[in-house]
Structure 1
Amino acid sequence: MTANQRAEAFAALHRAGCFLLPNAWDAGSARLLASLGPVALATTSAGAAWTFGRRDSALSKAEALANARAILAETTLPVSADLEDGYGPSPEDCAATVRAAGAAGLAGCTIEDTTRDPAAPIHDFEAAVGRIRAAVAAARALGRPFVLTARAENFLHGRPDLDDTIRRLTAFAEAGADCLYAPALPDLDAIRAVVAAVAPKPVNVLIGPRAGLVPLAVLAEAGVRRVSLGGALARAAYGPMLDLGRALLDGDLPRLAAVPAHGLVNGLMRS
């Protein structure tokens, strides 16, 4: 599949109903996930950073894009990248990041309204909208489909203001964003409110409402078009490793009998 074909397929998915977008964190996880039959993959800033032994948001733009290219190389699926805050505060920073994402062969990316400043973690409204407007212009200039997802991060940064979140997402949609995303929405009512506010633009939800996770079909009934997993699958891999490591250090070697066989995992990798 060419980059154009992947991009066209990814854009079409957003018009065809609700789909799951698993997040790979390296080349190996991309191969494992692709073997399960998803329709597309995303990257995860957290999982990628942990691969390098760093905290979330500690990778540079060059490192994040290198990680995305490694994932692209392991699958013919469309891939969208978590490109955090666009790697800089200005509209041109966001535009440059989108251009680099397009050049890497990605089918889309996300841009957040975060600042990387713990004292003031969210960009002012006008600045946030200007950044997305510039990112959209860069995406359109690629000459092929590119799903630009605009993220409103209030609920991840101690600002549980649904009205402001919807105001931002609506403005991002009006600025041309292809998909809207507010991670960590509290409940299904909030998700439905976001969907209604930006319709007919598609909405991405992170796993599900914080009040309690629900099946994919319930999110689809609420009007959600895309459900991503963020760093959850990476945590799912690291968590059992930590538990097993503790057990082994305590001498419980028989616990290893439950892990997947070498041949099963090895067979999914390239020769």
Structure 2
Amino acid sequence: MEGTQLVQKAMNFRKLHSSFFILPNAWDAVSAKIFAQCGFQALGTTSAGIAASRGYADRSMPFDTMLDAVRSIVQAVDIPVTVDIEDGYGENPEELVETVKQIINAGAVGINLEDSTMDPQMPLYDIPDQQKKIAAIRELGKRIGIPVFINARTDPYWIKLETPFTKLEETIKRAHAYQEAGADCIFVPGIKTVSDIRTLRQEINGPINVLAVPELPPAHELEALGIQRISTGSGPFRAAVSLLQSIGRDMLDRGSFELMTSTSKISYDDLLRL
């Protein structure tokens, strides 16, 4: 992809955050094309969906495997793509920068960087360490002339957190720190009560991203609360797998193909045209 075209895509993606939009998360070329055909203006990737579809547990997938999936997704659509890079595929900011550089070279315009560690003894990265990572990505964007969109994910609501602070207080503290380091948007998966979302909106300047989870208020209410972005994470992938599981059980348990044939809305010719 030419540099000027990528810059324009990156700018278009950034502009989306000046209002409200829903960002679906794809795991392969077909899911990306389907979302684009639905009319979404941009899409993200789901690390869990990509990993599972390739036989890995979440956060155990080799980087090259993830990068190959990103290339196929970017090449399948014309809309901007932002990539879930988990905690960065690196032990230090230098390795993280190399990860992001390859993601951008593949044609993506943004990244999602999370601060949870998978370590029960230290469930969240120290704030200064995370700030260094964000600042390094911001500096990379300036150096290569691509306005890389940094979606800083913070996970106090997503993990078991033992702290003298509440989940909301910890989230706000981290959000401010990440914005100071250069984050463009704050992503808070797991937050879902109107009162917490309203307080978060009051305390944080700039775009906020929430995750579509059970009991989350509907999109129009979130828009009214001042949320800019709703992403779906692995939800669409899990829904697709759940349907496949139901189809399999219907065939084996009932000897019926009704569920498969009744839900197959895309014809074989339509599939080829994708």
Unaligned runs of 5+ in 2: none
2:33 and 2:271 map into 1 onto residues whose CA distance is 7
Q: What secondary structure sits across from 2:157 in the alignment?
A: helix
Amino acid at match of 1:227: I
CA apart distance, 1:269: 4.4
- Pick one of 252, 257, 262 that aligns with 1:258: 262
CA apart distance, 1:66: 1.5
Superposition pairs for residues 1-271 of structure 1, below 5 Å? 2-15=5-18, 17-159=19-161, 161-199=167-205, 201-207=206-212, 212-250=215-253, 251-261=255-265, 263=267, 266-270=269-273
CA apart distance, 1:5: 2.0
Indicate how the Cα distance of structure 1 residues 220 and 262 shifts in structure 2: closer, same or farther if over 3 A, else same: closer
2:218 and 2:106 map into 1 onto residues whose CA distance is 34
TM-score, with length taken from structure 2 = 0.90
Over the residues paired in the alignment, what is the CA RMSD in angstroms?
Answer: 1.9
Q: What secondary structure sits across from 2:76 in the alignment?
A: coil
Q: What secondary structure sits across from 2:108 in the alignment?
A: coil
Structure 1 residues 99-120: Cα deviation after superposition (integer angstroms, max 9, x where no partner):
2222111110111112243432
CA apart distance, 1:257: 2.8
Unaligned runs of 5+ in 1: none
CA apart distance, 1:144: 2.2
2:57 and 2:137 map into 1 onto residues whose CA distance is 26
2:204 and 2:266 map into 1 onto residues whose CA distance is 47
Work out the percentage of aligned pairs sharing the same amino acid: 35
CA apart distance, 1:215: 1.7
CA apart distance, 1:266: 4.3
